Structure 1
């Protein structure tokens, strides 16, 4: 099955998840994440601001702030397919961009050097147990991860774990996947 068909299928499944199940599983995934040494030891955490059907990262950003951690979020540059991270100090530093996604309002003083990011929470739609993922199709994360040296974790609902996803030579696996039921070491 090709990536586009897999993307479309999982988006439909995620969109049909009931709000109570979504909230409960997002909460359990976050709790499992907070128990990991990767989270506890990281001072600078990179995370995307979740869309409605993704594991809720708004609560994760709040928890990071409460724990005194610094948070940075990505800004994508479609012309070059580059992604840069900027420190997020408050939600009002976000703006809506294409497809209703939230990105940081640009201020160069908040640019974060990739080598300062200790933990990157990598988004995706589908994952296999080896850590390979199907993202949203832009290739931003695979390009960024090619030279990133910190820890990588993805957060996923159990329906997003799929045994057969196509893997290309440029795909870069994450080190761990956290679901509400388990932490998968890839």
Structure 2
């Protein structure tokens, strides 16, 4: 059965909205452990990460771990419908921004992936067995990744993996997808 991006989004939103507190944290913990023990995390000096919202796999714990491991951390901010990443020193440096998602307050320290050894953690609604990604429909990550070369790891719950998802010419494939 071929599902549209809209149908896939509806299925995944319903799944995430119905996750129990316990299941959410258990699944996020499995993903967290896979990431922090991966060669990509261990070799990276910078973690470029989204700030989780709406029952996306937890990134707060990952971000705090990166800080405690002495890594630099950059998170996204939308300005004039363009996404850029800015370094932060603490999760306390975030405030609600675009679509109510936490964003950095200070935008004086922009992250240029080509100048650091980064690992980028990418959100998404759904992924397929070929590491294709369906995002939220704004194209922010696809546009950003078309301008920058960076190793991408998408993180999601296993229920967000489909055999095949519809893709278009602008969709950027992930280097790796990690699930629970």
Superposed, 1:97-108 pairs within 5 Å as 97-108=97-108
TM-score normalised according to structure 1 size: 0.91
- In the alignment, structure 2 segments of 5+ residues that lack a partner are none
SS, match of residue 174 in structure 2: coil
Is the 2:133–2:173 contact (alpha carbons within 8 Å) kept by the matching residues of 1? yes
Report the Cα distance in structure 1 between the residues aligned to 2:106 and 2:88, rounded to whole angstroms.
10
Is the 2:78–2:98 contact (alpha carbons within 8 Å) kept by the matching residues of 1? no
Q: 1:98 to 1:82 in 2, by over 3 A?
A: closer
Report the Cα distance in structure 1 between the residues aligned to 2:24 and 2:115, rounded to whole angstroms.
32
Corresponding residue of 2:5: 3
Corresponding residue of 1:116: 115
Report the Cα distance in structure 2 between the residues aligned to 1:52 and 1:116, rounded to whole angstroms.
32
Is the 1:131–1:174 contact (alpha carbons within 8 Å) kept by the matching residues of 2? yes
SS, match of residue 147 in structure 2: coil
Is the 2:152–2:176 contact (alpha carbons within 8 Å) kept by the matching residues of 1? yes
Report the Cα distance in structure 1 between the residues aligned to 2:104 and 2:29, rounded to whole angstroms.
24
Q: 1:37 to 1:95 in 2, by over 3 A?
A: same
Corresponding residue of 1:76: 78
TM-score normalised according to structure 2 size: 0.93
Corresponding residue of 1:37: 39
Report the Cα distance in structure 1 between the residues aligned to 2:135 and 2:107, rounded to whole angstroms.
27
Corresponding residue of 1:183: none
- In the alignment, structure 1 segments of 5+ residues that lack a partner are 181-186
Is the 1:85–1:114 contact (alpha carbons within 8 Å) kept by the matching residues of 2? no
Detail structure 1 runs of 4+ shifted over 3 Å in the superposition: none
Superposed, 1:137-176 pairs within 5 Å as 137-176=137-176
Report the Cα distance in structure 1 between the residues aligned to 2:47 and 2:78, rounded to whole angstroms.
17
Aligned residues: CA RMSD: 1.2
Deviation at 1:35, TM superposition (A): 1.2
Corresponding residue of 1:62: 64
Superposed, 1:124-139 pairs within 5 Å as 124-139=124-139
Deviation at 1:163, TM superposition (A): 1.3
Report the Cα distance in structure 2 between the residues aligned to 1:3 and 1:150, rounded to whole angstroms.
25
Report the Cα distance in structure 2 between the residues aligned to 1:140 and 1:116, rounded to whole angstroms.
21
Superposed, 1:44-59 pairs within 5 Å as 44-59=46-61
Output one character per residue of 1:91-141: Cα deviation in whole Å (capped at 9) or x when no partner: 221010243211111331x21123135111111010001111111111011
